Amino acid sequence: MAAPPVRLLFVCMGNICRSPTAGGVMAHLLAQEGLTDAVRLDSAGTGGWHAGSPPDERSTAAAARRGIVLEGAARQVHARDYVEFERLLCADADNLRDRRARAPNATARQKVRRLREFDPAAVAAGTLDIPDPYYGGTHGFEDVLDLVEAGCRGLLADLRAAGLG
């Protein structure tokens, strides 16, 4: 009998740029490794301003240039997400602080981490935030993809070390 899938929730502010990008990149990496069924992915925002909206067109275009598909509709983080997901992976310190402050207990708080904590180069440099590209130019979306990919590769290595696949 196969183990139940690991459940990961990627979190940013509005759930239209960074968190759907992280979900798309992670799905792409899992597909390359034949691990799609081993992990369940979702994304959400700390705020509900964009609820129901697709990923930002600039994020989608940047990802598509790399062969990565971004899907889904924006939603806000719910209290039940602390139960349904093993890890809540935040884009930056503000998202991390918000999610930890709203965690119902210490166990739930421990599930909340920043995605770049899994990127050894980011840890060494002390740059764990993924900047929000929403108000910048298109280059910011490419930068986000680079940062997210490094974090997702490290996260995948961490999951493998814990017995995935």
Question: Catalytic amino acids?
Answer: 12, 18, 132
Burial class (CB in 10 A: 0-12, 13-18, 19+), 146: exposed
Distance of CA 9 to the CA centre of its chain: 6
Q: Phi then psi for 11, rounded to 5 degrees?
A: -130, 130
**Structure tokens, 110:** 């421990």
Query: Cα separations (Å) of 76 from 5, 34, 105?
Result: 22, 30, 20
Residue 99: closest CA among 109, 85, 107, 84: 109
> In the beta sheet, which residues pair with residue 88?
9, 112
